[in-house]
Structure 1
Amino acid sequence: MVALVTNAISTGAPVHVYIIESASKYYDGWIICPLCDIVAHVYRSLPLNTRQYDSLDLLMYPESHGMVPSGGHAPRPTSTIFLMLKPRTVQCALEDQMEKLDLDHGSSNLVPLEVSWDPSRTLIRLSSVREFIDYELLKQHLSACTLSSSHQKRCEPPKHKESWPSKLVDCQTLKIVRVESWYDYVALSYVWGKQKHDTSKGLRDSPATIRDAIEVTNKLGYRYLWVDRYCIDQSQSIEKHAEIQRMGRIYNGASLTIMAAAGSDPDHGLPGVSKPRKNAAPMRNPSNWTIVDIPHGLPDLIDASAWRNRAWTYQEQVLSRRRLYFTDQEAVFQCLNYNARESYSSRKDPNSYKFFTLDPIRDSPYQIFGSIAEYSRRELTYEHDYLNGLSGILEYLAEEEDSVFHLFGVPILLREYVTDENKIIIRDYPALLMIGMTWKISTGKRHRGMNFPSWSWIGWSGHVDWDYDILYELSSSNEVWVEDETKKPWPLRDLCKQQHVSIRNFNLAQAIHVEAETFEVILEVNHISDVHNDYNAIWKSQDGRIVYTKAELIEDLGEHLAQEDSLEAGRFKALVLGIRGDDKDDENYPTTRTWVCKLLQKNPDGHEVVGHMSFQLDYIIDKSEGECNELLLPYMVKERVRLV
């Protein structure tokens, strides 16, 4: 086996391992050969569907094979190699095989070994993740990024006044100082927890996570740290509001952001700083070997954490250019070019994995809808922060060369869109707002008393989604006006065209006026459906026939509607946002076109969005004749509706 290992490392050839069932049932003392011991250890950690193969390839390669940050050098020399068992059904060269490994998602069957060859006594030893973090290693990773010319454009934070925080923690004096010029600073992203905010004791008695962040800042050679609870005066509402609006710029301008991705409150601390890690990678010592499994990849390490599930941390992660994650197993450094864990470094672009940056949105602005969907699935303590927690990303995109505006969180994208067939589609700003308003929430509750509009996703709790086919293909001729605080309506088109007056800075009320096709519908409970908020929308066609299709209310009104006569259960107005499909279809049989609507309910101030509906004519049901593809459009009128 030793000869096979030596040959594999020198030639890159895989070693074929034949698994003997009795030997695979490992007990201490059965396997004497140290390398066989490791192979058995790796084998036992394989998924069951992989163990069924009679023959597996033992892949092994030194760390220099694909594990060095791109555009730079390895932080320090190493003799680490990696072992992995793969089914022989995958036939490819070793290098090609390793390129396909998703190392950042990790696997417990990937074992790193520090090789020390001794002619008289062959030993394979493992470098393990320590109980305390290695500051020198982290500093070397930081230097590899900050000194590399290939990193400067992407990873260096902007140094303009708009990104300066107004206050910082001086980690040497433990005092809060005002920022008068540019300072290199570190930002902290952490979970506030449910404890009462108290800054009266000062920084020396601050929660463990903040004390540890101060120590890390000092040890890495920085002096200043931005922590929201100390750098934002929580008792001054005007200052607090202004700083919250700038939080996106603050994280984007930080030289490094510490991500406290462990624990559920600030008393947990940063693992490996003042307290040893409790969940370091497992170790075992068969014969003369030390084996440590590589911890799971970064997504796996943080996905179950309280930090990962908080709404505020989403934009803090997206907007930060350099990140230092603290998990219960190891620390992970990440910039916009590569990842460097304490167990190994990867030259692979982190954007190819589920690591959040703004690049996908810059390349395809429609990705902002996916970002909002992800954000809506996170937890938020205070309802009034729902828009604030994402505003940093939205404001950042509004400042890009190709501005992406938003109106109460509803994106207004670029007017010009190039299809996959290189066809250029130009949409007007009101049509773009209608596209943004095609959001759907299957089950949610109204954010009452928050002054959030019902026509925006921020007006509701629940998971937000968009249909990308509709986003790309919806056309609309609707007109839109936006009210200011005096209730004066301003044409949306004019607001967007005034480049010096950004929508985000315009003093707007929550009401908009939409001129669109509308029609009346009656909703009845769909007793066949298992979905509690699924209804039948009933209307009269233009030739007087009664037809119905599916509709969905955001809040469940089933019990209320079920108690009434079906045709009088609930009267709603359907407002057509636009039509998806080719407008050149035969007008008598436009079956490929889809009408996308919002369901409205009248209130004293206008109309409130309460649900969604879309229909194609071939899916409309004539109650007397069954399925029908005739022209059974409802009788529509064009009117101007005030949405609140």
Structure 2
Amino acid sequence: YATLSHSWGDPSHRPLTTTDQTLPRRQHGIEDEELPQTFRQAVHVCREIGIEYLWIDSLCIIQEQESQEDWAKEAPRMGLVYGNSRLTISAAAATNSTEGFFLERLGLVSWFCPVILFGQACYLSRYPTQEEQHNGDPGDLDWASNGLVLRGWILQEQVLSCRSIIFSKKGLIWRCPTLSTNEKYPLGIPHVPNISVDNHRLLHCIINDRMPFVPRDIEIDIYTSWYRIVEDFTSRNLTYEEDRLPAIAGIAKRFGETANDSYHAGLWRRDMVLGLLWHATGGSPIITNKSARAPSWSWASI
């Protein structure tokens, strides 16, 4: 199955959902014309690459329940849902479910076509030369410029997904543990140090057992990776502040299993002393968030 990573948008563009009232109808199927554009295009991607099932949060988790019973059961499992999917389709170009993410291609604008002279011969290169690859910003087709990455829930979808195909406003991007590529750099995006991206990759490798071993003497680096992820997460937006801990619970669960450590409201028992040294930056007055449902000593309380 594939998973869809998408922005719900503002309340006026609320995506198609499953509720207690619509559940019986949903279990019999959903007509194509009933799906909003973003969902319909995600179905098209799945059909084109031969994936039979698609998981969409607003349809696969019952919404608007007074008891929030289904949400309480499924929210902690979202890390497993994204971590075990064959592919995550990221609709980064769409700000809501009605816009769709199939945009007009940039065409040849994204391709270098250098002329290389060797003696009397002349060659045209379809791909950028090694020298030209490092000119300009290799991430200019990346999805950092898209609003989707500002959502708190999206972080664990980024970190836990084994493979992602990202439809950004500037082009198509592929990401997996071994390669990041886009239309400008089809053979691989040149490595440019980026704290956020590098920590996503490191944490993905740690929690998915993609490192041969994690020596005891670099344990501090594991926890540092967690703190960098927390910094990224707390800079993002959440519609409901009470989701502050649930929205990162999937990453925490996988991290705890790998580190063999116990998790306490955003901090780790074996690194509790360092974890308690967190502080807020930005200059704004610090206000305790009572709806966050976290103890005052946790970063999740503000």
Q: Name the TM-score class by shorter chain.
A: 0.7 to 0.9
Match of 2:8, as an amino acid? W
TM-score w.r.t. structure 1 length? Answer: 0.36
Distance 1:255 1:350 in 2: 25
Tell me the CA shift for residue 322 of structure 1.
0.6
Counterpart check, 1:190 vs 2:24: no
Change (3 A) 1:318 1:193: same
Change (3 A) 1:334 1:196: closer
Change (3 A) 1:404 1:339: same
Please give the root-mean-square deviation of Cα atoms over the aligned residues, in Å: 3.3
Partner in structure 2 of residue 246 of structure 1? 77
Change (3 A) 1:280 1:244: farther
Tell me the CA shift for residue 341 of structure 1.
2.4
Distance 1:376 1:235 in 2: 26
Match of 2:263, as an amino acid? H
Distance 2:260 2:190 in 1: 26
Distance 2:142 2:287 in 1: 32
Tell me the CA shift for residue 339 of structure 1.
2.5
Partner in structure 1 of residue 52 of structure 2? 223
Cα-to-partner distance string for 1:261-302 (whole Å, 9 max, x where unaligned): 113222221224xxx34x556389xxxx9x999995347632
Q: Secondary structure at 2:268's aligned position in 1?
A: strand
Distance 1:304 1:197 in 2: 23
1:376 to 227, 231, 234: 234
Identity %: 27
Tell me the CA shift for residue 246 of structure 1.
0.5
8 Å contact 1:191–1:265 — kept in the other structure? Answer: yes
Structure with bigger RCO (C-alpha 8 Å, 6+ apart): 2
1:433 to 253, 266, 272: 272
1:451 to 285, 289, 293: 293
Change (3 A) 1:348 1:405: farther
Match of 2:265, as an amino acid? F
Distance 1:351 1:405 in 2: 34
Question: Between Structure 1 and Structure 2, whose CA radius of gyration is higher?
Answer: 1
Distance 1:351 1:312 in 2: 26
Change (3 A) 1:198 1:335: closer
Q: Secondary structure at 2:41's aligned position in 1?
A: helix
Distance 1:323 1:451 in 2: 32
Counterpart check, 1:397 vs 2:215: no
1:331 to 172, 178, 193: 172
8 Å contact 1:361–1:368 — kept in the other structure? Answer: no
Unaligned runs of 5+ in 2: 112-123, 208-213, 215-220
Number of paired residues? 251
Change (3 A) 1:350 1:436: same
Change (3 A) 1:243 1:235: same
Partner in structure 2 of residue 70 of structure 1? none
Distance 1:241 1:313 in 2: 18
Distance 1:223 1:265 in 2: 24
Partner in structure 2 of residue 312 of structure 1? 153
8 Å contact 2:173–2:181 — kept in the other structure? Answer: yes
Tell me the CA shift for residue 361 of structure 1.
5.2
Q: Secondary structure at 2:142's aligned position in 1?
A: helix
Match of 1:282, as an amino acid? V
Change (3 A) 1:198 1:339: closer
- Greater shift, 300-309 or 354-363, is seen at 354-363
Q: Secondary structure at 2:290's aligned position in 1?
A: coil
Distance 1:242 1:350 in 2: 40
Q: Secondary structure at 1:219's aligned position in 2?
A: helix
Counterpart check, 1:270 vs 2:127: no
